[in-house]
Amino acid sequence: MKRTDKYQRYQRQILLKEFGTAGQEKLSVARILVVGAGGLGCPALQYLAAAGVGTIGIVDFDVIDVSNLPRQILYTEEDIGKPKAETAAKKLKSLNPGIEIKTYNIKLDNQNAIEIIPGYDIVIDGSDNFSTRYLINDACVLCNKPLVYGAVLRFEGQVGVFNLTTEQTKTKTNYRDLFPEPPDPSSTLSCSEAGVLGVLPGIIGILQATETIKIITGIGKPLADSIISFNALNNQFYECSIPASVDSHRQMPKNIKEFLKFNYEWFCGASSVNNEISVQEFDALRSAGKITIIDVREQGELPEVNEFLFIHIPLSRFKESVAEISTKNKIVVFCQSGIRSRQAVKILNEVSGEYDAYSLKGGIIEWKELQENISV
């Protein structure tokens, strides 16, 4: 596009003295990644493309469903069944042919997140589930990218900016400072279960686009280290600040290597995963062979176990020692009563999604009782 055309197109925002041609130039070289081209992603994408953001990446593996149309306003009835990422790209391209759009018709996972995110300046979270939200957050922390967060439910929405240092805030906070641990999946509701008013993601998605433009151009005070909660029913905006907390980061992967192994779906749905086996199942597994057994009791705890071979790694130093465990076998962890072994299985699954680990229910005490009953 010629310089004069460009000026005409963006004239209204260039007129703003805080923005000017310098602001427009910053937008035109900016690279923004939008994860999720749904209720939040659609309005954010539309405004960012219209404003002249130079490169926009869209990650979405889903296809358009009729139930998306009341809020995912880039799509029309003819688009039902088509992939969201490519359909959104086509619409945005016709809205503004002067920008570049990259599509990723994939489900974001640890591996591709760490490949895609470094190529962008800012990431917008328009996802619809906790495991993706924690994944995006941790990837942005490790890749050192600002994250513009948004979430909606029913008549409420939240927006915030994480992992951004500004003149006002010297520290960087992230999603885990707001919510250190994901909720139990059985206690939370998604929009498909609880509903959402169609305009709500519109409002929040546009706030996300606004914050993104502010960060790129350096205008105003971005919502760093804080969130705004909006309630459409009573028109209230509630802002609160989020202090950084070392405690909140304890469960966060410390480096890319740890990140690549972190199992987000497990982290967010731990309680719904059945990872306990009974003493009877344990015996069946032992006789079938090919299992690795770990005792996580501390040194010298009774009863002693001589009936089968096992590795001894006390829970107190389990996390540090996990790396030593390299096995493709099923892992059965035991302790006295089955409580510490559950924690150990949780640690194993957090460290790597590849372990097939189970906790012995009732612990070694119950197993010993079973042996006595059998021998009697």
Partner 1 sequence: MIIKINLLFFGQAADITGKASWNFSGITNTLELNEKLIENFPGLQTIKYSIAVNRKIVRENTILNNEDTVAILPPFSGG
The residue ranges that bind partner 1 (CB under 8 A) are: 36, 38-41, 125-130, 133, 150-154, 156, 158, 177-184, 187-191, 194, 196, 201, 229, 231, 233-234, 238-243, 245, 247-248
Judge contact between 157 and 204, C-beta under 8 A. Answer: yes
**To the nearest whole angstrom, how small is the minimum distance from the Cβ of residue 155 to partner 1?**
10
What is the token pair recorded at 163? 């992992």
191 is catalytic: yes
Judge contact between 347 and 270, C-beta under 8 A. Answer: no
Shorter beta-carbon distance to partner 1: residue 62 or 366? 62
**To the nearest whole angstrom, how small is the minimum distance from the Cβ of residue 345 to partner 1?**
21
Reference 62, options 94, 105, 28; nearest CA is 105
Of 42, 140, 143, 191, the catalytic one is: 191
Say whether 246 sits in a helix, a strand or coil.
helix
Shorter beta-carbon distance to partner 1: residue 27 or 139? 139
Largest CA distance in the chain: 95
Give the span between the Cα atoms of 182 and 151, in whole angstroms.
14
Judge contact between 203 and 40, C-beta under 8 A. Answer: no
Of 42, 140, 268, 335, the catalytic one is: 335
**70 alpha-carbon distance from chain centroid:** 25
Residue 63 DSSP class: B
**To the nearest whole angstrom, how small is the minimum distance from the Cβ of residue 254 to partner 1?**
20
Give the HSE-up count for residue 286: Cα atoms under 13 Å, Cβ half-sphere.
17
Residue 163 φ/ψ region, left for φ over 0, alpha for ψ in the -120 to 50 degree band, beta for the rest: left
**To the nearest whole angstrom, how small is the minimum distance from the Cβ of residue 137 to partner 1?**
12
**To the nearest whole angstrom, how small is the minimum distance from the Cβ of residue 151 to partner 1?**
5
Give the span between the Cα atoms of 192 and 62, in whole angstroms.
15
Contacts of 283 (CB under 8 A, 6+ apart): 367, 370
Give the span between the Cα atoms of 354 and 83, in whole angstroms.
30
Compute CA distances 140 → 135, 207, 226, 375, whole Å.
Answer: 9, 20, 17, 57
**To the nearest whole angstrom, how small is the minimum distance from the Cβ of residue 58 to partner 1?**
14
What is the set of active-site residues?
191, 335
